[in-house]
A = this chain, B = another copy of it.
């Protein structure tokens, strides 16, 4: 496993697999094409993964980078800013990244394959829990109006996913404050411009 040739091949293939997933989708995903993208023999591909699903599942682990460290704890109303940060991260992830390009393929694959499903739900769950706990904190501090933090988190995340998957118009980072205000806010709000 430490053989440098293996590392080279695996890396190139995983990257190529994500490219292929983004470009061709899950249905038209072709092992042949992945190998070609990676500049690697087809047999090398099959030496490392027995079939399409194993390769895809493995490639997806690659995407598993979590939103980011808590924050640099700003001044006032820190939970509000934190929620915005998490959602902006999500909005951006669903606009530009490899995740976004692969998401529709993933959603579909999850329906067919338990491994992919596990990955997708786990991915989603981790984000959601982070969001839920920040919201709960905010409620406790009186920053947000009271309510069930889980439902609120679903509404916030849901809006972002919905716009990406079901409409042609993903949520832009600039729309995040409005969204947060709609779900969590109650009185006059003035979210700062935290972060990029």
List residues of A whose CB falls within 8 A of some B CB.
Answer: 24-29, 104-105, 107-112, 117, 120-121, 124-125, 128, 145, 147-148, 151-152, 154-163, 165-168, 175, 178-179, 181-183, 186
Contacts and interface: CB of A to CB of B under 8 A. Distances in A.
Contacts of A154: 158-159, 162-163, 179
Taking the full assembly, how many copies of this chain does it contain?
Answer: 4
26 contacts: A24-B112, A26-B26, A26-B27, A27-B108, A27-B112, A104-B107, A104-B108, A104-B110, A105-B111, A107-B165, A117-B168, A124-B166, A124-B167, A148-B178, A148-B182, A151-B175, A151-B182, A152-B182, A154-B163, A155-B155, A155-B159, A157-B162, A158-B159, A158-B160, A159-B159, A161-B162
Contacts of A166: 107, 120-121, 124, 157, 161
Contacts of A179: 151, 154-155
A148 B25 CA distance: 35
Interface of A: prevailing SS: helix
A182 B147 contact: yes
A162 B167 contact: no
Nearest to A102: B111
Nearest to A154: B159
A130 to B, nearest CB: 15
